[in-house]
Amino acid sequence: MTTLNYKRADFQSDQEVKWCPGCGDYTILASVQAYMAEMGVAREDVVFVSGIGCSSRFPYYMNTYGMHSIHGRAPAIASGVVTANPDLSVWVVTGDGDALSIGGNHLIHALRRNVNLKILLFNNQIYGLTKGQYSPTSEVGKTTKSTPLGSIDHPFNPVSLALGADASFVARTIDMDRKHTMEILRRAHEHEGTALIEIYQNCNVFNDKAFLALTGKDERVHNQIRMEDGEPIIFGPEGEKAVVIESGVARIVDTASVDPSDIHVHDSREVNPSMAFALSRISSHPDGPTPIGIFRDINRPVYDQEMARQIEAVTEKRGPGDLQTLIGSQGTWTVE
Amino acid sequence: MTTLNYKRADFQSDQEVKWCPGCGDYTILASVQAYMAEMGVAREDVVFVSGIGCSSRFPYYMNTYGMHSIHGRAPAIASGVVTANPDLSVWVVTGDGDALSIGGNHLIHALRRNVNLKILLFNNQIYGLTKGQYSPTSEVGKTTKSTPLGSIDHPFNPVSLALGADASFVARTIDMDRKHTMEILRRAHEHEGTALIEIYQNCNVFNDKAFLALTGKDERVHNQIRMEDGEPIIFGPEGEKAVVIESGVARIVDTASVDPSDIHVHDSREVNPSMAFALSRISSHPDGPTPIGIFRDINRPVYDQEMARQIEAVTEKRGPGDLQTLIGSQGTWTVE
Amino acid sequence: MSVSEKTVTRPANETPDQEELDKVIIRFVGDSGDGMQLAGTRFTDASAAFGNDLATFPSFPAEIRAPAGTVGGVSSFQVQIADFDILTPGDEPDVLVAMNPAGLISNLKDVRPNGTIVVNSEAFIERNLHRAGYEKNPLEDGSLDSYRIISAPMETLTKEAVKESGVTGREVLRSKNFFALGLMAWLFNRPMDPTTEWLEKKFSKRPDVLNANLAALKAGWNFGLTTDAAPTTYTVKPAKLEPGTYTNVTGNTAMAWGAIAAGQAAKLPVFYGTYPITPASDILHELSRHKNFGVKTFQAEDEIGGIGVAVGAAFTGHLSFTGTSGPGLALKSETISLALMTELPLIIINVQRGGPSTGLPTKPEQADLLFAIFGRHGEAPMPVLAAQSPSDAFDITIEAARIALKYMTPVIVLSDNSIATGSEPWNLPDVSTLPDISKPYQMGPNSGDEYLPYLRDPQTFARSWAIPGTPGLEHRIGGLEKQEVTGNVSYDPGNHQLMIDTRAWKIANIANDIPPVEIDGDPKAKLLVLGWGSTYGVIKGAVRRVQKRGLPVATAHLRHLNPFPANLGEIVHSYEKVLIPEMNMGQLRHLIRAEYLVPAIGYNKVSAEPFKVREIENRILELIES
Amino acid sequence: MSVSEKTVTRPANETPDQEELDKVIIRFVGDSGDGMQLAGTRFTDASAAFGNDLATFPSFPAEIRAPAGTVGGVSSFQVQIADFDILTPGDEPDVLVAMNPAGLISNLKDVRPNGTIVVNSEAFIERNLHRAGYEKNPLEDGSLDSYRIISAPMETLTKEAVKESGVTGREVLRSKNFFALGLMAWLFNRPMDPTTEWLEKKFSKRPDVLNANLAALKAGWNFGLTTDAAPTTYTVKPAKLEPGTYTNVTGNTAMAWGAIAAGQAAKLPVFYGTYPITPASDILHELSRHKNFGVKTFQAEDEIGGIGVAVGAAFTGHLSFTGTSGPGLALKSETISLALMTELPLIIINVQRGGPSTGLPTKPEQADLLFAIFGRHGEAPMPVLAAQSPSDAFDITIEAARIALKYMTPVIVLSDNSIATGSEPWNLPDVSTLPDISKPYQMGPNSGDEYLPYLRDPQTFARSWAIPGTPGLEHRIGGLEKQEVTGNVSYDPGNHQLMIDTRAWKIANIANDIPPVEIDGDPKAKLLVLGWGSTYGVIKGAVRRVQKRGLPVATAHLRHLNPFPANLGEIVHSYEKVLIPEMNMGQLRHLIRAEYLVPAIGYNKVSAEPFKVREIENRILELIES
Ligand SMILES: Cc1ncc(C[n+]2csc(CCOP(=O)(O)OP(=O)(O)O)c2C)c(N)n1
Ligand SMILES: Cc1ncc(C[n+]2csc(CCOP(=O)(O)OP(=O)(O)O)c2C)c(N)n1
Ligand code: SF4
Ligand code: SF4
Ligand SMILES: [Mg+2]
Ligand SMILES: [Mg+2]
């Protein structure tokens, strides 16, 4: 590969960006384009696949290969892309409805197989494109167009769900925090296998301020629990809160009330997902202290690579297939 | 309700049971029929809904209401049944392919919503009805008709997946153990909300002895980790093995090597699912020590009941709807 | 200024007075954020309250909010009001209200020659002109000379007007649409009360916004009055409609109400299982507001789940519906087939939109007809009905429920985006006269002391409906081929043929239980124009115009597409020519050709826009003359 | 005993010698566990090796293993062998090999008058008779008097024979089928070598099982020889087939090989994304065995995932397939539409089975034709092809790939259960003569220095195929309506109509690029029998019989169902009558009527069984005579 000398603009397509003014999607787009310039992958080797939703418009704005597919199917289509060519850098952009409602099955199967996909889940806790119905991440009691009396559906915790599906990489970030987003994108890219990144994204038209606890000037220092590998998990303006894990359950405590050595030291590389799962349960809704960062990042065999390897191995063993031999392989007779 | 005086035979339909001789499904059928006789629900209030697969033939053999539906859709259809009539006792019978492959999405959404369904997942780690392809619970490397070189798909751990989806009740039992099966059925019935029971089921034709470690005369005492509420988790012929949970991770240790108070005392009623999740990770494949019993059994609002309650509340508030008023509600004018 | 067919010759600068028109077509256009849908709806409701007949056609972009000022972001609302019974929102606007250059440039081509254009002059600034694609300012370069222009600095005037209301910042200019509405109300002598009342109700909790909107509305009216904006104002008298109480209703709302009404007519609780999709979502929204009718709405994880829960509810004795649009119908196909095999009553609503694939989600099209009829594997015939107008969506839904229950079958009902979002005045029925469409549950054995789930009614071939909870009738159904009578699984070859024939006969026989097609016009005319669905209004309008000229044309419109009404064959054979206009490439025509071997002629348009009356009129004339 | 058309009159008890037959139909029946498919396949392969022409029809229950001894659990395998070019597995067996009473009772009705019945006498015990539904033992009550019975205590004799082999317990009786096979080999003078060789290869790692089977095989032969089981044995001479190297192939295998061959012909890697479903799963099984051809198989989570990964692979430059059966096709509908809109090459294989819903999963039917053609929302035309025989499944797959690539479109290929699991001898092609069907990827800009994804080839209207990894051609596609040339999203009305027309034209134009329909028979005959799919053999057989009588009938068979070959209209108009036999309720007939306004006559059978030659022959005679 020649040295790649990209600028962010190299990843901007010629299409006008069509989200509502103020939408969190703009910031994420900027972060992704900026990261792509740094990623070190040739633009032609990058593919963005999306489903349907506001967020799923994303590929149109990336000057890479891309497909704006159909609702919920992006993880499957993208699995086909990267299985066909494991050298590509394949990214999925999806929404909370697209990924977790109609596309839930493809998502959990991609995670389990560990196909080399980077999945950006724009979670705005609402259906944007269809103008404001509740989604599988909307809180119970939410009043929306389809739930005028309040929703009775218990929401998913996307991180827990992904860990339950044995995801090898799961992280969470916030649209407004471009630096953190780019850092997570980098780690996801470096990870081999499926990476799920939940991005809290503000839909200012249908679900404004859903993430205020994490983005508000005053609120965020109280509620963002930053997880950094090798660091004890401490948060709050003066670090006055900490996370401990006791008999399997993660809890928030006053830092002062515990022995510093009891504070949980984060390790996203831990192979057993139980710790990551426990951390994911600290918050099932981002209206209070909520972990941000990488929950899990472990290595296990990658589906598309395994498939290529299997083909290579058997071809080495048996030699490349010969079609004439194949069609005669079940026994033949000759008529003269 | 009048006193119900059922015998097992009352739950046997007039249809000839058509599984392969020796199939684990027979035993499960017997356990379920026996439990139904004890359950204390009138037969006409019981509904069995299944998808497609060997296991999904189940409803034909139950002398209750039933639907043998289509592949993967039983959780959705059953959700409709019980939402329409929350007084029914609705059971889903499904296989590892039916529930976790094609039906994965309906399953996780039923679990999240906590619809009042009792889901019996017959996990034989294979596609039986279609004659032996690997399933989402088959082990990596498995040679089947569709994976002659061995499967490269990492399997689901169904219990972890269910916990990731916020299931309120998750248990595991074994086809051959009728007593345990019936006990779990009882607990599932008593539970309000979705109950997922994974039943290890031997397919003696396409995947014989997959659960030998748990069912073999010699093997089972070594490998069955029985979880009982309020009891420390100890197993092995002489109780020489125990389970501890350390910084979030459950591990098997020699009983003698730990302080008895460090041995994990099981509590399926713990609201935070992290402990249950940790236990589910002790074994992701039943070829060694594997937890059996109830992982989680907690209360949270039940979808179908909430729906009924919402209707009741609004009807109380606004009075029963009047159609003539409704169609005139957007403003009218009169032509004479 | 020219509205309707009349031409006004009165010189300018005289004190405006009122002229009477028989009809007028007005189109409001602007950015998605400009509130044009609202202005249009309010104008419509005021006209409805005034007693006009009317029809509307809203149109908006697929994006939530495309970039301001671009053609892609233009939202429009067209309404025709008349003093007689009209059928369509009209072909060419007499008046175009354009809030910005993008709205003007993209809509000008539709305006009738010498029409009126009302503009917000302050939007015609460099940046907006550029975004819209204008090189020069059309208000200044003479390119609009053949139109009558009413130009108002709406932003300044709105700002001024709302100063006292209490709104600030961005909210100030939000009232601009009410300024435009006020101006139009003046021009057409609309009553102000309905709008004022609506505003008072809507913004009872936001007095500042209420006051701002009222002030802007007033200012618009006053601007017309004080600036002599036009030489004359117009009135369109109330229409001589059938006596009755009317409301203005969209197809989606009418369908939701139809479902509720069907539940009452069947004495059954209503269940609606669905997944949101444009343009069907509003049916869900409307139904979920009426839980006090005992309606259960279930927003499922996807369309398959949506129909899955609906099948479960149907099995459990509910009057069960599922609703979607094209891509969702595709996903439901397999489960529809299950409902068919298990012979459960289920109504599948499909609000058609532009296809294929994601297509044009907010545009009308009639291209799912063959899919509705043939869109299942195996021999799987099913009734298919189609609404012909917004208010007919109410009736057709009840009719679908009647058939579903009486024949124990899933039924597909087709609507489309223009019915779903368009509106028309609806003469409200007296609901106490709704037909009884109930299908009693089976309560006991139907053969000695046995219950046989597939024993059929000898007339209708319908099976009985025994629901869970009924003692003694426990039974199992499923998707494998069923043995006749018992419903057990059967692999017997003869039984399969019997069941295939039975299911086919059951559906075909419905032809004898639906109204015959009615012909509007001379049964001996040369040409029959045959239609279905939302083209009803344009076809009827075109045929009327041609009939007025005394030319030999008749029309018939199908609401039952499968089976066809029993007399249809006779009818299509009795005309020299049959013309079938459709917003697809000839789907009904295909069916008519296959069924009756009649060389029907197609007139097809799949351009994301409904037909214009004139287009069909011209085609009719061509065919009559040739 | 009577086999073929000849009658044998030689008295019993004479030393048997050989009689020559031109053809014979044999059906093996028994419990699912009795190994009848294996016995049938071995008999077939030995006959193939011997040089007969042949055709097979396996049939098995939907249950993995229904309860032993019941009619529901009967598995059967029918083979016709002949010394001339035959086309079908035959109507009525000359010989029925029945391993148990259930097999006998359910198959006897098909056996030709005076046919031969070979039974395992030891299976005719009380319990089995009862399970099968016999009141008395048919071997004893005289009810079989009109047949020639060959009765052998197969269990005792098998046990005896395998004593030395080393197998024990349950495995002992497993060799019973080889006893039956040996007996049939004796009766029909089949060569033993092919079977012996097959066994040696198959059981190289289980010498005990190998020996047991060899011993049982031998014992069967010897039983015939030593007990004088029949007065004569028979030979069916090698057929005078086209010279060449032959193999016996099932449709599923041929289709898998066809996919591999298409990959080579297109110089592209092959991708198969699917989800198991009867009767299509064997295509997956076969393809997954040949990864050394670079074939990627992906067993997805469901059918939507299966086609999803295939669409992804097509975008990435693979020759991409997805395969399924009816219910799976229903689930794929939405994604097929995406492939159509993105104009990607993709081959969708649909192996039809009995419907609707789960239907009869192991039975043949042709009822998905209209679904294949119309089964998508919106105007979504697509090529539809159909294999006409097991070996044609190879060719049709390559043809589908050719069309998919050349026209950049998804293509549906229909097969059905009888093609998929049935077999016939196949004259192996020289693969070096396969056509070049390659579609080169786009490697650089196609308009100045720009790449325009929807710029079309002026001849085919196909767009170009630029795959990820190609520098400078980065572009985005999707399911929203595309702007012509650029492929950008477009909501423009005129553009939508243009794209609808373009997509329709692209597909319609393929009519000029496919072989014209060929007529077998007199172009001036009174009656044309028109068919498609797996009825090829029976129709041809029936027409030949009628032609032999000198009656005016011709036949044509369609492999291209959409678009139809260009000359089809002319052809169907040139006959007085057109008869269309189909294993559905008249789906091709519907299309022919709609397209050509020809009053084609249907002959329809949807009874989970293929047509018999005789049935079609009779219908032809009726129509010629009337
Ligand atoms: C098969 C199908 N069903 C439904 C829809 C309608 N639809 C489009 S996007 C969407 C949900 C969007 O929500 P989300 O995925 O959260 O994306 P957002 O718009 O919030 O970014 C729905 C229901 C569709 N396009 N296709
Ligand atoms: C839509 C659809 N796809 C595929 C199939 C074929 N099919 C039937 S059962 C089955 C899997 C069965 O496996 P599992 O659910 O594990 O049940 P088991 O037979 O092992 O009890 C499949 C793939 C089908 N019937 N319908
Ligand atoms: S609706 Fe919400 S998510 Fe969609 S573009 Fe607008 S602000 Fe963004
Ligand atoms: S195939 Fe396996 S799961 Fe199915 S009936 Fe037979 S033994 Fe049971
Ligand atoms: Mg969202
Ligand atoms: Mg299974």
In a domain, D241, yes or no: no
Q: Are residue C267 and residue C369 in the same domain, yes or no?
A: yes
Mean pLDDT of the C410-439 span:
96
pLDDT in tens, B294-305: 999 999 999 999
What H or E segment, with its residue span, contains residue C181? helix C176-187
Residue from D285, D356, D300, D365 nearest D327 by CA: D356
pLDDT reported for residue C403: 98
Radius of gyration of chain B (CA): 22
Given a cut of 70, the residues of chain A with pLDDT beneath it are 1-3
Q: Which numbered ligand comes closest to the C-alpha of D302?
A: 2
Rounded to the nearest whole angstrom, what is the distance from the C-alpha of residue A18 to the centroid of ligand 3?
9
- As beta bridge partners, residue A243 has A252
In a domain, C477, yes or no: yes
Name chain D contacts of A92, Cβ cutoff 8 Å.
Answer: none
Q: Are residue C163 and residue C269 in the same domain, yes or no?
A: no
Characterize C13-36 residue by residue with b for buried, 16 or more Cβ atoms within 10 angstroms of its Cβ, and e for exposed.
eeebeebebbbbbbbbbbbbbbbb
In a domain, C241, yes or no: no
| Ligand 3 atom with minimal separation from the A19 CA | 5
Residue C107 contacts residue C74 (beta carbons within 8 Å): yes
Q: Are residue D419 and residue D380 in the same domain, yes or no?
A: yes
Q: Of the candidates B136, B152, B274, which has its C-beta nearest A278's C-beta?
A: B274
Mean pLDDT of the C395-412 span:
98
Q: Of the candidates B54, B146, B149, which has its C-beta nearest D299's C-beta?
A: B146
Band the pLDDT of D5: cuts 50, 70, 90. Answer: very low
Residue D25: half-sphere exposure toward Cβ, Cα within 13 Å: 22
Instruction: Name the pTM for this structure.
Output: 0.92
Q: Are residue C181 and residue C253 in the same domain, yes or no?
A: no
Q: Which CATH number characterizes residue C396's domain?
A: 3.40.50.970
| Ligand 3 atom with minimal separation from the A124 CA | 3
Q: Is the CB of A198 under 6 A from ligand 1?
A: no
pLDDT reported for residue C164: 87
Radius of gyration of chain C (CA): 27
| Ligand 3 atom with minimal separation from the A18 CA | 5
In a domain, C242, yes or no: no
- CA D291 from chain center: how many Å? 24
Q: Tell whether the model's pLDDT for residue C452 goes beyond 60.
A: yes
Residue from C340, C337, C320 nearest C329 by CA: C337
- CA D569 from chain center: how many Å? 28
pLDDT reported for residue C171: 86
pLDDT in tens, C107-137: 999 999 889 999 999 999 999 999 999 999 9
In a domain, C211, yes or no: yes
Q: Are residue D291 and residue D341 in the same domain, yes or no?
A: yes
Q: Is the CB of A103 under 6 A from ligand 1?
A: no
Q: Of the candidates C73, C281, C357, which has its C-beta nearest A133's C-beta?
A: C281
pLDDT in tens, B16-50: 898 998 999 999 999 999 999 999 999 999 999 99
Name chain D contacts of C326, Cβ cutoff 8 Å.
Answer: 377-378
Pick from D236, D267, D301: which residue ends a domain? D236
Name chain D contacts of A16, Cβ cutoff 8 Å.
Answer: none
> Hey, what are D62's tokens?
């939907």
Q: C51 in helix, strand or coil?
A: coil
Q: Is the CB of A127 under 6 A from ligand 1?
A: yes
Q: B276 in helix, strand or coil?
A: helix
pLDDT reported for residue C11: 36
pLDDT in tens, C571-611: 999 999 999 999 999 999 999 999 999 999 999 999 988 99
In a domain, D174, yes or no: yes
pLDDT reported for residue A3: 66
- As beta bridge partners, residue D202 has none
pLDDT in tens, D557-590: 999 999 999 999 999 999 999 999 999 999 999 9
Contact yes or no for A333 and D50 at CB 8 A: yes
In a domain, D488, yes or no: yes
- Range list of H helices, C364-492: 369-374, 392-407, 417-421
| Ligand 4 atom with minimal separation from the B206 CA | 2
Pick from C485, C513, C541: which residue ends a domain? C513
Ligand 2 binding pocket (C-beta < 6 A) is: B 52-55, 71, 95-98, 122, 124, 126-130, 135; D 275-277, 303, 327-328, 331, 358
Chain A interface includes C130 (CB < 8 A): no
Q: Of the candidates C198, C246, C261, which has its C-beta nearest B333's C-beta?
A: C246
Q: Which numbered ligand comes closest to the C-alpha of D479?
A: 1
Q: Tell whether the model's pLDDT for residue B115 goes beyond 60.
A: yes
Compute the 3-state secondary structure of chain A and give helix, strand, coil in percent, each to the nearest 5: 35, 20, 40
Determine phi and psi for C428, rounding to 5 degrees.
Answer: -65, 130
Name chain C contacts of B43, Cβ cutoff 8 Å.
Answer: 471, 474
Residue of C nearest to B312 (CA): C292
Q: Of the candidates A85, A311, A331, which has its C-beta nearest D294's C-beta?
A: A311
From CA C555, how far away is CA C540, in angstroms rounded? Answer: 7
From CA C28, how far away is CA C35, in angstroms rounded? Answer: 9
Mean pLDDT of the C370-384 span:
98
Count of residues for chain A?
Answer: 336
Predicted complex ipTM exceeds 0.90: yes
Residue C438 contacts residue C447 (beta carbons within 8 Å): no
Q: Are residue D413 and residue D475 in the same domain, yes or no?
A: no
Q: What angle, rounded to 10 degrees, do the helices at C176-187 and C36-50 form?
A: 30
Q: Are residue C405 and residue C256 in the same domain, yes or no?
A: yes
Name chain C contacts of D352, Cβ cutoff 8 Å.
Answer: 377
Q: Give me the number of domains chain C comprises.
A: 4
Count of residues for chain C?
Answer: 626
pLDDT reported for residue A232: 97
From CA A138, how far away is CA A124, in angstroms rounded? Answer: 9
Residue from B75, B92, B301, B95 nearest B200 by CA: B95
Band the pLDDT of C64: cuts 50, 70, 90. Answer: low
Chain C (305-324) residues lying within 8 Å, Cβ to Cβ, of chain B: 305, 308-318, 320
Q: Is the CB of A128 under 6 A from ligand 3?
A: yes
Pick from C189, C215, C236: which residue ends a domain? C236
> Hey, what are D515's tokens?
């072989």
Contact yes or no for C476 and B13 at CB 8 A: yes
Q: Which CATH number characterizes residue C583's domain?
A: 3.40.50.920
Q: Are residue D421 and residue D484 in the same domain, yes or no?
A: no
- What are the angstrom distances between the C-alpha of C561 and each of B254, C322, C387? 74, 19, 11
Residue C561 contacts residue C588 (beta carbons within 8 Å): yes
Q: Are residue D291 and residue D226 in the same domain, yes or no?
A: no
Q: What is the mean pLDDT of chain B?
A: 96
Q: B249 in helix, strand or coil?
A: strand
Q: Are residue D413 and residue D468 in the same domain, yes or no?
A: no
pLDDT reported for residue C379: 98
Question: Measured on CA atoms in the order B128, B134, B136, B137, is the torsion positive or negative?
Answer: positive
pLDDT reported for residue B3: 65
Whose CA is closest to atom 4 on ligand 2? D277
Band the pLDDT of B12: cuts 50, 70, 90. Answer: very high
**β-strands C17-21, C232-236: how paired?**
parallel
Rounded to the nearest whole angstrom, what is the distance from the C-alpha of residue C353 to the centroid of ligand 3?
22
Contact yes or no for D359 and C365 at CB 8 A: no
pLDDT reported for residue C321: 98
From CA D77, how far away is CA D51, in angstroms rounded? Answer: 20
Which domain, by its residues, includes C11? 4-236
Q: Are residue C426 and residue C465 in the same domain, yes or no?
A: no
Does residue D67 or residue C175 have the better pLDDT? C175
Q: Is the CB of A181 under 6 A from ligand 3?
A: no
Chain A interface includes B113 (CB < 8 A): yes
In a domain, D242, yes or no: no
Q: Which CATH number characterizes residue D55's domain?
A: 3.40.920.10
Q: D585 in helix, strand or coil?
A: coil
Q: Does the bond joining C279 to the residue before it have cis omega, within 30 degrees of 0?
A: yes
- As beta bridge partners, residue D54 has D81
pLDDT reported for residue D4: 35
Q: Are residue C458 and residue C421 in the same domain, yes or no?
A: no
Nearest-CA distance C246 → chain B (Å): 5
